[in-house]
Amino acid sequence: MQTITVNLGERSYPIHIGAGLLGKPELLIPHFAYPRAAVVSNETVFPLYGERIMQTLKNAVIDAFAVVIPDGERYKTWETLDTIFDALLARAFDRKSTLVALGGGVVGDLAGFAAATYQRGVPFIQIPTTLLAQVDSSVGGKTAVNHARGKNMIGAFHQPGLVLADTGTLDTLPDKELRAGLAEVFKYGLIRDAHFFAWLEDNLEKLLARDTQALAQAILRSCEIKAAVVAADERESGERALLNLGHTFGHAIETALGYGQWLHGEAVAAGMLMAAELSHKRGHFSHDALQRARKLLQRAGLPLNPPAIPAAKMLQLMQIDKKNEGGHIRLILLRDIGNAYIDSDVTEADLLDFLQHYT
């Protein structure tokens, strides 16, 4: 097991990474002020790992009950959130009890938002079971539900007390979701660490083959980068926006197609390459760097182009983005591999012209 700390003063918390962690009650016990928990999971993950985590909580002398929700991005809604609230209220769940998120990004976001808002805030723990959740969505305290007009537009910052990333859960992850998770891993190399990006180029086959050591290293480095950025800018007032490379384009793709038609990581992959191409067009990203980014995504079996969405529709959806300020679209672009920056100077006319090349 390896441990990283997200340094946020009194709200600092550990990220434990390793195999077999679901069966270790000693990792959970220090994070319960009161021995009661609600485990939020979905219909896919709970049959795989629910019994194990419920037994681990029992071994920790923690009274727990499960709240199982439907699986899929299309269920990341107010209606599903309400079913969680109903279950908590029916069991007289109080402020000293702890909510546990067992699943991927949708479960983590919904359970986190429930924890942020139920009785004005209760403690929660993230136990991510997908690669994307282990390297990204479980860390940093972003919680949300989707709206028909925009992804993750309704939510709250609410930090977990612990992130427990059991790499053993990746054994049951479908190949398609493993590849989608790698998109977020690639993102960290592109925005912050050229050496890590080169390591990913050299070790991609091991990652796709689920080599335990390679996956653990990729998760560790991704979490190190995210933890450092979050510690420096918890509420995304500046530097943390860099973590959204590809997301302005990607979220627009997800919203336009309908949530769940493309996996989040697939949309982010296409969005990152769009951002790289726009960066190159603006003279800030070399042809060689662009080709390296394209080749890595291609080798990973990720989308290289967005679906055929009208440029005007894409632009309209990109205008509804949490990074935007003063009516201006703010994009995360690249100067080089490992060097991202925030660009607020791309005009809507230029952006529309750029988007038309994809339709």
Catalytic residue check, 152 = no
In this prediction, residue 359 carries a pLDDT of 79
Catalytic residue check, 142 = yes
Catalytic residue among 177, 244, 323, 330: 244
Interatomic CA distance for residues 259 and 263, integer angstroms: 8
Interatomic CA distance for residues 252 and 4, integer angstroms: 32
Residue 94's CB: how many other CB atoms inside 10 A?
Answer: 12
Catalytic residue check, 184 = yes
Catalytic residue among 76, 179, 247, 323: 247
User: Tokens 């990729």 appear where?
Assistant: 218
335: number of CA atoms within 13 Å, CB side?
9
In this prediction, residue 274 carries a pLDDT of 98
CB within 8 Å of 288: residues ≥ 6 apart: none
Catalytic residue check, 235 = no
Catalytic residue among 73, 177, 184, 277: 184
160: number of CA atoms within 13 Å, CB side?
31
Directed axis angle between helix 348-355 and helix 311-318, to 10°?
A: 130
In this prediction, residue 55 carries a pLDDT of 98
Q: Domains plus CATH for the chain?
A: 2-172 (3.40.50.1970), 175-358 (1.20.1090.10)
CA torsion sign for 57, 131, 207, 227 is negative
Closest CA to 81 of 67, 92, 93: 67
Catalytic residue check, 226 = yes
The CA distances from residue 277 to 16, 249, 254, 334, in Å, are 36, 12, 20, 9
CB within 8 Å of 171: residues ≥ 6 apart: 210
Interatomic CA distance for residues 100 and 297, integer angstroms: 33
> Can you state the percent helix, strand and coil of the chain, rounding each to 5?
55, 20, 25
Eight-state DSSP code of residue 50:
I
Interatomic CA distance for residues 112 and 98, integer angstroms: 11
Q: Are strands 339-343 and 331-336 parallel, antiparallel or unpaired?
A: antiparallel
Catalytic residue among 36, 76, 142, 280: 142
What parts of the chain have a pLDDT lower than 50? Answer: none
Interatomic CA distance for residues 137 and 126, integer angstroms: 10
Catalytic residue among 73, 177, 236, 266: 236
In this prediction, residue 325 carries a pLDDT of 80
The answer to whether 87 and 67 are in contact (CB under 8 A) is yes
Catalytic residue check, 324 = no
